[in-house]
Each structure stands twice: as structure tokens, then as C-alpha cells.
Amino acid sequence: MNVFNKENLSIVGKKLIAKTLNEFHYEGLTKPSIIAEDKNGWSTLQVKLGHKIYTYKGKKRIYGNYVVDPNSITLFQDGKTQEFSDILQLCLDIADELKISDFTKAYFIEEMNSTIMADLHLLQSSQNVATSRVAQMTYEEIEGEIEAHPWVIFNKGRKGFSYSDYLKYAPESKSKINLFWIAIKKDHANYAGDENNSYETLINEELSKNEIENFNNILKDKQLDPAQYMFMPVHPWQWDNMIVSHFNMAIANNDLVPLDYGKDNYLAQQSIRTLSNISDNNKRFVKTCMTIFNTAVWRGLPKKRILLAPDLSTWLKNLIGKDEFIAGECGLGLMSECAGIQLDQDYYFQIQKAPYQFKEMLGITWREPMSNILREGERALPLSSLIHVGFDNTPVVKCIIESSGLSVKEWTKKFHEAMLYPLLHTLVKYGLVFSPHGQNAVIVLKDNIPTRMIIKDFADDVHISIDGYKQMYKDFPAIAKGTILESPPEVLIHFIQTTLFICHYRYLSDILDRYMDFSEKDFFASVRETILSYQQKFPELKNKMALYNFFESHHVKVALNKVRLVTQGYKDDAERPEPAINELVENPLVEKRDTLAHEL
């Protein structure tokens, strides 16, 4: 338990305070005053919360937020100034200023406590791993090194986890996980698979002959016919904490039969519920249900999306595969969600407005493995890994660029082309947008040079626009209609402006500026040039491009922390919460002539 000591707590506390002051300022939850500025671009800022004054140094960034120096934070109280590292007290002081209810405050502090505990473990483990080593890790390994959501301050809340659960199942614990297998009676189960993943094919590839024989014998010992059942894995946490208690009648009636732990070892990805098979990397990733509350929602799987995923994946692969630019020049990889099984808890489904967590407890989605998509000489990294800064104060992206043989400017240009060309083309030509945040988007490197992108999590995060694209969607899967969200073009563009630019590029550009002397202005100038380059490649799509104005002076500003603290709190509703919309934010892609042209 040497993880828990004052020195580590001070480091973690200061880092979380710096993040909180940065993100809360960005979202308008705090209103700091600038009291001094130095010649290097750093400002001294103050936040007054009741009778307390917090002072810190921050550097203004291109989206208006201030990155904060963790070692500059002081508190003035009762006539005294002192260094400050108590993140929980700062959270309470901000909550009091915002007049947040005591109910919300208590759960806020609970999530922050869990985040502190996880960050203490991350700090301890990172001290023994050089960033240069992290930068060379495989996709599966690096998931255990990175620090979860960069924007949400309570990003490891994991409500529902005990400490022993944390040690067994958190990605940063890097513990091997064995899935628990159950049998579900076929007339109670819902199965969906693409043309290459019938139930029989999938199970024979995911389980060994000995495991299948063992499971069949367990059923036969209960005088049950294996032909009447389907096998499916569940996360061991979900089995222990949810399935036995909520599906006890199904177990008693032999509609659900517990079997045994599988032999394969898995590692948790950053989402916790999605697992990578490390016994055989040619086997599928599994996305499981885990009724824990983390970051923004309960981490179950909705029935409609489990059953939709294979058809949607097939439709997308056919669409993309026929497009010479996306499939050929861009080489966009799609990580198919190839199969899924789901079982209702009948009684909760009879309650129309039951909290959604009760309707998302038992299901599984199998996802195509990374090995199916990578070509010779390539390796894949989660996009989020590029903004990881190690204990040695070295960013992963710095190690990658320095070993690529390219300048920062050249590497960044390659990166933007790999990311933006396919995203822009699916948006402009097809009225379709993915959600390319740090977990969903995967950057592919060859000799540490970005070459292309892989995208995943279609059923949850694909949005389409019917406006101007009706002919395109005449063969859209029937099951997708009413489940996949249809939005106008001005909403679709937000998934690139917010999910990619603000949720990822905001941090990446800051790191390149502070660690590699490549300015934010130059970074976003390169983004702009990539968009203009794309537009020049496809003059025939000019009318479609007019639907998506990437060069407006301002665009929508979303707030994530505000949802939990102000707009939603910790209410347990029938639907998942929506992000809060703040005032507009200045668009860093705009040059002065764009604004003048717009005014004229």
C-alpha cells in the first residue's frame, strides 16, 4: 500500500487541480481574473470562491482555456498564503459557489475520490516506465498506461467498483481477466451476426473444442439439451454484481445456466468494458455490459444497438469499400462489430421509464480484432495515447515524431491527412459522421509515420444526415432506422469540431507547442490547409461542401463537466444525458480574410 503517501497525493492533487481550473474555466464554471502577464505568455490568474482566493499561473490556449502550472497553485485564506494541493476542498468550494445541491456534491466527491485513488496507482506504476518505452507499446499494452478522458475531471469515477474490483478490472491495473461463460436458452436470446459470423462459426472460433465439450457436459449434467442453448461470455464483475441478483429467476428456471470461466486471458481497454484477447490476438475484441457509472453514463449495452451493429457494420464496409478515395488512397479501416447476443430482464422492460441501466445489463458485442485490419509493417495506437505525458515529463507524441525522421511540421501534415481526409469524405459525400474521439479513433503508423486511420464503435456513435442525401440511404439497414440518429448537417459537423478538434486536438496542439516548439497557430493552420486541400480534390462536391462551413468565425461550444454538476446531476433517468451547450467558441481555423469575406 505504498501507493498511498503524502508525496504522491500532493503530486496527484496538484495535477487534478490544474486540470480542474483549466476545464472549469473553459466551460464557464469558474470566472478567473488575470492580475499579471509575463513576456513568455504566462498569466497569473485568481479565482475568488467565497472568502478564499486561489492564485495560479496559466497560459492561454487557442480555444480560450488556460493550461495551468500545477506547481504554481496557492490559496489565500485568513490572511495567509500557502501552496495548495487539496483537490477535494477546491471541488467543494467551486460547488458552493455554483450553488450545487448537497446531493450532487456528495456524488461528485465520491467520483473524485475514486479518480484520486486511480491516479495514485497510475503515478506509482508510471515511475518505472520511460515514455520512450510507452511509445513503442502495442495497442493492447498502451491502453493500460494512458490517463482516460482528458476533458472530464472525474474521469475514473467507476461508481460500483470496490478497491479489489479496481485492482482486478481497471485498465491501468493491467490484470489478466478471464470472462465468465453462461448458456442462454435460444428462445430467450437475441443473436445478430454478419454473413461471416453465424453463431456456430463464432463460438467455434472463440472457444476451444475442450471448452465447448466442458460446457455441453455441464448442461447435460443438469439434464438439459445443449442444442437448445447459446453460449455467451459476461464480464466477471457483471456476473458477480448484477447477473446473479437480477436474473436469479432465469437461473432457477434454467433459462440462464452458469458454466465456467474461459481459458483466454484479456486486458481491459480504456473503456473498461471492452477487452482485448491477449492469449490469441486473432480472436475478436469483446464489448461487455458493466453496470458501473463512469465519466458520464452507466456502461451497459442497449439492446437495439447490439442487434443493429452487424448489419450497420456490413453496410458501412460496403459503402466505404466501393469508394476509391476512402478505401484506396485513405485506406480507412473499419473495425466491424460483427456479432452480438442480448437477453432481456423481462420485468424491467415492462417498466416504460425505468432508468436505462436496468435495461442494459446482459449483452455482448464481438468486434473484429486489430490483427485483421493491420497490414505488414503497421502498428496501431489509440488516438488518446498521443496526448499522454509520462512521469519523466515526456509526451508519447514527441518520442514518436523524433523517431520518425520527419520534422514536426511534416509529421503533423501526414497526421492530419490520415485523420481528416476520410472523415471529411464520409461527411461531405455521404452525409455520415463517426465520433472520432480518443478511444474510437486509432492512428496507424508505419516507421512511426501516420499513414491511415481505423475507426470503431459504429452502432453507438455514427450519425447521418438525410438532408440532401435521401438517395444515399435507400438501402440503409431497416433495423438502423429510428436507432441511428439523423441530424441536419450543422449538427454533423460538430462531431469533427468538438469530438476531434476540441476533445483531442486542443490537447495535442498544446503539447506540441510546449514540448516541441510547434505553435498551436501552426498546428491549426495545417488543419485548415488539409481541409482546403480536400475541397480542391473534389470540386464536383462543391454543393455538398457548402452544407459544412468549417471556416465560420465561431461554432458551438459543448460542456461535459457541466452536465454532471449543473444540468443533469446524478439523476437516474430513462435516457442517457446529453452534453450541455455553452456559448460559442472562436474557431481557430479562421483567418482574418474569412471573417471579412463573411461580413462583406
pLDDT of residue 286: 98
- Strand pairing category for 180-185 and 290-294: unpaired
Instruction: Measure the CA–CA gap between 398 and 511, rounded to whole angstroms.
Output: 9
- Strand pairing category for 378-382 and 337-343: unpaired
Amino acid present at 85: S
Amino acid present at 39: K
Tell me which fold the domain 6-142 belongs to. TATA-Binding Protein (3.30.310)
Instruction: Measure the CA–CA gap between 116 and 123, rounded to whole angstroms.
Output: 10
- Measured from the Cβ of residue 397, the count of other Cβ atoms closer than 10 Å reads 25
Map out the domains of the chain as residue ranges.
6-142, 167-371, 378-550
Instruction: State the number of CA atoms in the 13 A half-sphere of 294 facing the CB.
Output: 22
- 136: DSSP letter: T
pLDDT of residue 478: 73
pLDDT of residue 146: 92
Tell me which fold the domain 378-550 belongs to. Transferase(Phosphotransferase); domain 1 (1.10.510)
pLDDT of residue 430: 93
Determine which helix (DSSP H) or strand (DSSP E) holds 442, and give its type and residue range. Answer: strand 441-446
pLDDT of residue 594: 55
Q: Three-state SS for 46?
A: strand
Q: What are the Cα distances from residue 147, in Å, to 28, 30, 287, 592? A: 24, 24, 20, 37
Closest to 231 measured CA to CA, from 251, 259, 198, 197: 259
What's this model's pTM, rounded to 2 decimal places? 0.96
Start-to-end C-alpha separation, the chain? 66
How does DSSP assign 170-193, residue by residue?
-GGGT--B-PEEEEEETTTEEEEE
Q: Which segments within 6-92 are labelled E, that is strand? A: 33-37, 42-49, 52-60, 66-68, 74-77, 80-83
pLDDT of residue 599: 39
- Measured from the Cβ of residue 127, the count of other Cβ atoms closer than 10 Å reads 11
For the CA atoms of 327, 329, 335, 337, what is the dihedral angle to 10 degrees? -20
| Per-residue pLDDT tens listing for the chain (600 residues) | 689 999 999 999 999 999 999 999 999 999 999 999 998 999 999 999 999 999 999 999 999 999 999 999 999 999 999 999 999 999 999 999 999 999 999 999 999 999 999 999 999 999 989 999 999 999 999 999 999 999 999 999 999 999 999 999 999 999 999 999 999 999 999 999 999 999 999 999 999 999 999 999 999 999 999 999 999 999 999 999 999 999 999 999 999 999 999 999 999 999 999 999 999 999 999 999 999 999 889 999 999 999 999 999 999 999 999 999 999 999 999 999 999 999 988 899 999 999 999 999 999 999 999 999 999 999 999 999 999 999 999 999 999 999 999 999 999 999 999 999 999 999 999 999 999 998 999 999 999 999 999 999 988 888 888 777 776 777 777 767 777 878 899 999 999 999 999 999 999 999 999 999 999 999 999 999 999 999 999 999 999 999 999 999 999 999 999 999 999 889 888 888 888 888 899 999 998 655 434 433
Q: Which three cell numbers stand for residue 584?
A: 460559442
Instruction: Measure the CA–CA gap between 379 and 372, rounded to whole angstroms.
Output: 12
